[in-house]
A and B are shown apart, each in its own frame.
Chain A
Amino acid sequence: MAYHQKVIDHYEHPRNVGNFGTSEEVKQRKDIGVGLVGAPECGDVMQLQIKVNDETGVIEDARFKCFGCGSAIASSSLATEWLKGKTLEEGLQIKNTMIVEELQLPPVKIHCSVLAEDAIRSAIRDYKKKNGIAEEEAQSA
């Protein structure tokens, strides 16, 4: 399968790889939201962590790790780039179709973008839950 140049670029130079600590450490930190989505038997698992400024509600930093194909890696790498500097509400506006368009994903790879959107929502939901912020926005989106 021929990948689009943008996928190859993200795959070869993934942005913001990493985490803000071990899974136990980030669980304790209130400024971090974690999304872990997918399943090993489906062939992709994405972990997205966001670091949020609790005064401004702005996502100051984002990190990802991904077990998956090149498109999945590129989708999650792109998601971290887009999330940085956005507010939580702006982050929720990122839709999988935007990722598909940006990376020119073929139909068989659309699920990778869906997973990235799930990871974003899940990380934001985690942050809100930790900080006692109402969830309506997340669910209605």
Chain B
Amino acid sequence: MGVNLPIYFDNAATTKCDPRVVEAMLPYFTEVYGNPGSRNHSFGWAAEEAVDRARQQVARLIGADRKEIIFTSGATESNNLALKGAARMYAKKPAGQEHRGHIVTCAIEHKAVLDPAKRLQKEGFDVTFLEPPADGVITRAMVEEALRDDTILVSIMWANNEIGTINEVPEIGALCHERGVIFHTDATQWVGKMPTDVVRDNIDLLSMSGHKIYGPKGVGALYVRRRRPRVRLQAIAEGGGQERGFRSGTLNVPGIVGLGAACEICMQEMDSERERLLAMRNRLEEQITGRLDTVQVNGHRERRLPHLTNISFGFVEGESLMMATKEIAMSSGSACTSASLEPSYVLKGLGVGDDLAHSSLRISLGRFNTGEEVDYAIDAIVRAVEKLRELSPLYDLHKEGIDITKIQWQAH
């Protein structure tokens, strides 16, 4: 019955490619290798057919029409194209001027939204970065308050990658449509796990990625609404005019086929998978919070992705915690922080104390995880925290009844 080590609990960073996806992709490297842009021979037609099928599979997963799917290299590119493409297309004033239009986003978006938004700021757009409340959920009311007469674009992620909180996306979509504002959502962590309907939920632009849903890396998609309203974008990559001119470049046929296959599997299995992972996640949280004191689950308790948890452990430091649990692959704060000494900007954004933000683990479960792995991880994490608290001068002070936030520390 044992578990195979190391255990992979970092499915929000990336997932293992489903073997069924790999199987579907293989013929498109060596057998069906034509360029879908080649319109005058059978090699091209066969490739185009495969791409069309994948487009249909992706569209069905999110309730879109296949003509509304633009293939990209991943969610980062999709986000860049959505934000820069829409802002530049709907700009109220030409380049070089100030106040070219207003954009609303949020301070705890992924960097792939924040950095394009900051770029647009430099290009003369006004950007509002909404500050999240302590539970991390961005509501319709918050967006409504930020809207201005010159707002052209709202970009709010569907679910947060670090804490898994679910924003009021359908409500924000409805608001944007009432006000004639383009609405983009980075749905990288949401699509494939949760039911999605871009028509019902009033989404204009939606970013998604292949490798977060058991597909290959290097492929993603951007949904671009074609009716009510018809959304236009200024392309970033120019050239052969592929993907309706939104994204030039020869299509990554094996990757696209893989993305399509991954979407198809998610469509069929997401409901049962979600139930299974939710039960595992809840057991993990209940055990850890039950066996250790001064532990905090971050983000809204209900409005959260079912397969993800972000837990802060008081009086232990994150990197040493990762070291003590090195047979379990998890994320300390956000994946990119491991090389820097900064605590997570997302947790800081929620007002989680610096001492707690330094010692948080993001555990994200996935299709290939088992209950035995969860049980193993519970014991390993509890043991590690206990060991580090033995070492921690802060835990001693806490036990002596001293409030460590009241001590005059000398920051270095």
B412 touches A111 (CB 8 A): yes
Chain A residue nearest in CB terms to B354: A41
Beyond A43-B317, A70-B320, A73-B320, whether A1 also contacts B411 by CB under 8 A is no
Task: For residue B166, give the distance in angstroms from its CB to the closest CB of chain A.
Answer: 29
A45 touches B319 (CB 8 A): no
A118 touches B412 (CB 8 A): yes
Provide the A50-91 mask, 1 if CB < 8 A to any CB of B, else 0.
Answer: 000000000000000111111011000000000000000000
Q: Does B358 contact A (CB under 8 A)?
A: yes
A115 to B354, CA, bound (A): 19
A66 touches B391 (CB 8 A): yes
A40 touches B412 (CB 8 A): no
Task: For residue B339, give the distance in angstroms from its CB to the closest CB of chain A.
Answer: 7
Q: Does A19 contact B (CB under 8 A)?
A: yes
A44 touches B317 (CB 8 A): yes
A43 touches B343 (CB 8 A): yes
Task: For residue A141, give the distance in angstroms from its CB to the closest CB of chain B.
Answer: 18
B323 touches A11 (CB 8 A): yes
From B355, B358, B412, give the contact of A37 (CB < 8 A): B412
Beyond A40-B355, A67-B317, A69-B320, whether A17 also contacts B412 by CB under 8 A is no
Q: Does B23 contact A (CB under 8 A)?
A: no
Number of residues in A with C-beta < 8 Å to the partner?
34
- Which residue, B316, B391, B392, has most C-beta atoms of chain A within 10 A? B391
A108 touches B341 (CB 8 A): yes
Provide the B332-370 mask, 1 if CB < 8 A to any CB of A, else 0.
Answer: 000000110101000000000111001000000000000
Q: Does A98 contact B (CB under 8 A)?
A: no
B323 touches A70 (CB 8 A): yes
A111 to B203, CA, bound (A): 47
A68 touches B317 (CB 8 A): yes
Chain B residue numbers with a CB within 8 Å of A69 are: 317, 319-320, 323
From B390, B395, B400, give the contact of A22 (CB < 8 A): B400
Q: Does A33 contact B (CB under 8 A)?
A: no
Chain A residue numbers with a CB within 8 Å of B279 are: none
Number of residues in B with C-beta < 8 Å to the partner?
30
Chain B residue nearest in CB terms to A24: B400
- Of the candidate stretches B58-66, B126-134, B192-200, B402-410, the one touching chain A is B402-410
Chain A residue numbers with a CB within 8 Å of B393 are: 36, 45-47, 65-67
B410 touches A37 (CB 8 A): yes
B320 touches A1 (CB 8 A): no
Q: Does B315 contact A (CB under 8 A)?
A: yes
Chain B residue numbers with a CB within 8 Å of A37 are: 410, 412
Q: Does B382 contact A (CB under 8 A)?
A: no
Q: Does A39 contact B (CB under 8 A)?
A: yes
Task: For residue B69, give the distance in angstroms from its CB to the closest CB of chain A.
Answer: 39
Task: For residue A120, give the distance in angstroms from its CB to the closest CB of chain B.
Answer: 14
A41 to B397, CA, bound (A): 16
A65 touches B396 (CB 8 A): yes
B402 touches A23 (CB 8 A): yes
A44 to B404, CA, bound (A): 13
A23 touches B397 (CB 8 A): yes
A66 to B67, CA, bound (A): 58
Chain A residue nearest in CB terms to B405: A40
B410 touches A45 (CB 8 A): no
- Which residue, B320, B341, B353, B395, has most C-beta atoms of chain A within 10 A? B320
Q: Does A42 contact B (CB under 8 A)?
A: yes
Q: Does B233 contact A (CB under 8 A)?
A: no
A46 to B394, CA, bound (A): 9
A41 to B341, CA, bound (A): 10
From A3, A39, A67, A72, give the contact of B315 (CB < 8 A): A67
A39 touches B320 (CB 8 A): no
From B339, B395, B412, give the contact of A115 (CB < 8 A): B412
B341 touches A39 (CB 8 A): no
Chain B residue numbers with a CB within 8 Å of A11 are: 320, 323
Task: For residue B316, give the distance in angstroms from its CB to the closest CB of chain A.
Answer: 7
B391 touches A14 (CB 8 A): yes
Task: For residue B99, give the distance in angstroms from its CB to the closest CB of chain A.
Answer: 38
Chain B residue nearest in CB terms to A66: B391
Beyond A68-B317, A73-B320, A108-B341, whether A39 also contacts B394 by CB under 8 A is no
Chain A residue nearest in CB terms to B348: A41
Chain B residue nearest in CB terms to A76: B391
- Which residue, B323, B354, B395, B400, has most C-beta atoms of chain A within 10 A? B323
Chain B residue numbers with a CB within 8 Å of A68 are: 317, 320
Additional A-B contact list (10), CB under 8 Å, known A1-B338, A46-B393:
A3-B323, A14-B391, A17-B390, A23-B396, A23-B402, A39-B409, A45-B394, A67-B394, A68-B320, A73-B391
What are 8 residue pairs bridging A and B, where the CB atoms are less than 8 Å apart in the complex? A1-B338, A3-B323, A23-B396, A40-B409, A41-B353, A67-B394, A67-B395, A115-B412
Where the two chains meet, the residues of A that have a C-beta atom closer than 8 Å to any C-beta of B are 1, 3, 11, 14, 17, 19, 22-24, 36-47, 65-70, 72-73, 108, 111, 114-115, 118
Where the two chains meet, the residues of B that have a C-beta atom closer than 8 Å to any C-beta of A are 315-320, 323, 338-339, 341, 343, 353-355, 358, 390-397, 400, 402, 404, 409-412
